[in-house]
Amino acid sequence: MDNEKIAQLIAKIDAMPTLPTLVGRVLTITSDPNSSADDLLQAIEPDQSMTVKILKVANSAFYSRVRKVADLKQALMVLGFQEVRNLVLASAVFNNFQKIRKVKEFDARAFWRHSFITGLAAKGMAGPLKLAAGEMFIAGLIHDIGKLALLTALPLEFVRTMKMSGNYGLEGLIAEKHVLGLSHTDVGMRVLKRWMFPNHLVVATGFHHQPATDDSLRVYPLVVQLSDFLAHIVAMSPDLDEQIIFPEGCFSAETASLAKNYGIDWHLEAVKARGKELKQIMDLQAGVLDAFLN
């Protein structure tokens, strides 16, 4: 693809709607150590749609709470600044791409299901690495956001890349580069930077197929890559006690070495165990995806 067509694609991506003003305000408030719960409450409360969604998710299996969260103020007290911020980010991303559902040859619900499961897997891996579980959920949830941007900008061309590559892994990146001039990871980074997302989430999206490429924050894209593998494994392998289908590159030397550097067990039996654990979590969280989508 020539430079002129790449420039046209970038122009289309940059012309996409930004996230609501509310998201910027929430990011500013939650990153300011001098902000109070009242500041966050005043920012979110006027948006009734967002308030309802936060309460719906806060009362879902995602947080496994015994007592019902009755209002936004209680949600802020119970969940805390960062978790409410994460809910706002997740909801805003879902809302910004609602029209994707109408594109033929693209199963939007399957896309969001995979993204959601990747988020759950990343959340589950966060604890031992001393990473914020809520932020890792977001990292997994948005890892393929560049695909939605490409689908919005050039739907026919993007569907063509899906047919060429099966829409997965490094083959997908190669097909995207060949047909579109940019990969979904390139585009995802551009979109998230434009939306002013935290840098580690930008890096997690941009390098999740090649985490060794980034030096400073590689643990974030590494966790997302491994979580992406796990999400595909549980989707492709109905019975993890029988034959398991592993995605290409799952046990590459680079992946195994990088995982080992961070103390992550990543061998056949460990991955099998992680897959079983993820399936149990998926069963528990079955209705949470609908809370985000609706």
The pLDDT, as a whole number, for residue 8 is: 86
Range of lowest pLDDT (40-44, 92-96, 99-103, 160-164): 99-103
Residues 6+ apart with CB under 8 A from 190: 10, 13, 14, 146, 149
pTM of the model: 0.92
E strand segments, 94-213: none
Residue 230 contacts residue 95 (beta carbons within 8 Å)? no
What residue has token string 């749609």? 49
How much of the chain, in percent, has pLDDT values that exceed 70?
95
Residue 80 contacts residue 132 (beta carbons within 8 Å)? no
Q: Which CATH superfamily is domain 3-293 in?
A: Hypothetical protein af1432 (1.10.3210.10)
pLDDT band at 119 (very low <50, low <70, confident <90, very high): very high
E strand segments, 15-174: none
- The yes-or-no verdict on residue 166 having pLDDT over 90 is no
